[in-house]
Amino acid sequence: VSVVVLYNGPGDAPAEIDAWRGYLKACDPGIDFRVWPDTGPLAEIDYCLAWMSKPGDLARYPNLKAIFWLGAGVDHLLKDRELPRHVPIVRLVDPGLTAGMTEYVLQHVLRYHLRQPEFDAFQRQGLWRKLDIPLAKDRRVGLMGLGVLGRDAAAKLVDLGFAVAAWSASPKTMADVACFHGDEQLMAFLGRTEILVCLLPLTPATAGIINARTLAALPRGACVINAARGGHVVDADLVAALDRGHIAHATLDVFTEEPLPVEHAFWRHPQITLTPHVASQTIAETASQVVIEGLKAVRAGRLPANVVDLQKGY
């Protein structure tokens, strides 16, 4: 019997908790599933499935064997000063999560490619006005981050015929994608990018990466889609770039403070499209299968896939 605690943050929907219990027990009836804070004796807990856990909480389980983080980005987790670093910390790499993000990226890239914000503005003015729309091969999309999510989005954008580039930390190759890497190639990558999509992890190296300097490096009229973390964007710099028309439009799913405070300028900015951190969501149906595979690996004495590199911070 393995004792698993689901720590999905207070206020989580009971239906979702039931779904996790159901899927995990269907795969492994031996799992003793407990829901935080009703953990029972802390020494009995073998594994934690966690999202937005309370700092310090994961350090309380003396016999913990692994942490399964129920999200792809571990920036919140790594802020926990008492995080037990001796156990494998597995981030979520899940086909359902990847598919959701690719849908979001495609939706917003297509919307910009097809100039929908301009048609929306014409509609509000009662204007019947046509605009030229280039072939996809002449639309330059740039992905910051060519990891699990960036690669899938890039592949689907290539399928649609877009001129795709990507920027990563280390050198990469991908068919039909112009690959850039490292600080020294960032400006060249931005200079050729009309629609910028951020899918980076939030680390000290990427915090504030969408700022006055990098926005100015994009061609005039570029659009920005941030589906990674709010901390990637310097909010005031983005608003300034939108106000002077250098950036035409931005789609933002994530914010430095969530929920986004009511008084924040982003809410009412006419060139901003906002979603409440839903670009992709963890769904028990697919995520539970990934967790089960990880549990099997740890029990068999193997290192599970997608262990977070604590040195790199993602």
Active-site residues, by number, are: 229, 277
Select from 206, 195, 86, 216 the least CA-distant residue to 147: 206
CB of 92 to ligand OXD, least distance (A): 6
CB of 118 to ligand NDP, least distance (A): 26
Residue 242 CA to residue 269 CA, distance in Å, equals 9
Exposed e or buried b per residue across 289-301, where buried means at least 16 C-beta atoms within 10 angstroms of its C-beta: bbbbebbebbeee
Select from 195, 207, 191 the least CA-distant residue to 163: 195
Q: Whose Cβ is closer to ligand NDP: residue 39's or residue 98's?
A: 98
Residue 201 found at the interface with ligand OXD (CB under 6 A): no
Q: Whose Cβ is closer to ligand NDP: residue 239's or residue 287's?
A: 287
Q: Whose Cβ is closer to ligand NDP: residue 103's or residue 118's?
A: 103
Q: Whose Cβ is closer to ligand NDP: residue 39's or residue 168's?
A: 168
How many residues line the site for ligand OXD (CB under 6 A)? 4
Q: What is the bridge-based pairing of β-strands 222-226 and 89-90?
A: unpaired
- Choosing from 72, 225, 290, 291, the residue that interacts with ligand OXD (CB under 6 A) is 72
Q: What is the rounded radius of gyration, in angstroms, for the C-alpha atoms of the chain?
A: 21
Strand partners, 37: none
Residue 200 CA to residue 230 CA, distance in Å, equals 11
What residues line the site for ligand NDP (CB under 6 A)? 72-73, 97, 101, 145-150, 167-170, 199-203, 205-206, 227-229, 253-254, 277, 279-280, 314
Residue 71 found at the interface with ligand OXD (CB under 6 A): yes
Alpha helices in 44-147 (DSSP H): 75-78, 95-113, 116-124
Residue 100 found at the interface with ligand OXD (CB under 6 A): no
Residue 158 CA to residue 137 CA, distance in Å, equals 9
Residue 67 found at the interface with ligand OXD (CB under 6 A): no
CB of 271 to ligand NDP, least distance (A): 20
Q: Which of the ranges 71-79, 81-89, 113-121, 210-218 carries the binding residues for ligand OXD, by CB under 6 A?
A: 71-79
Residues engaged in binding ligand OXD (CB under 6 A): 71-73, 92
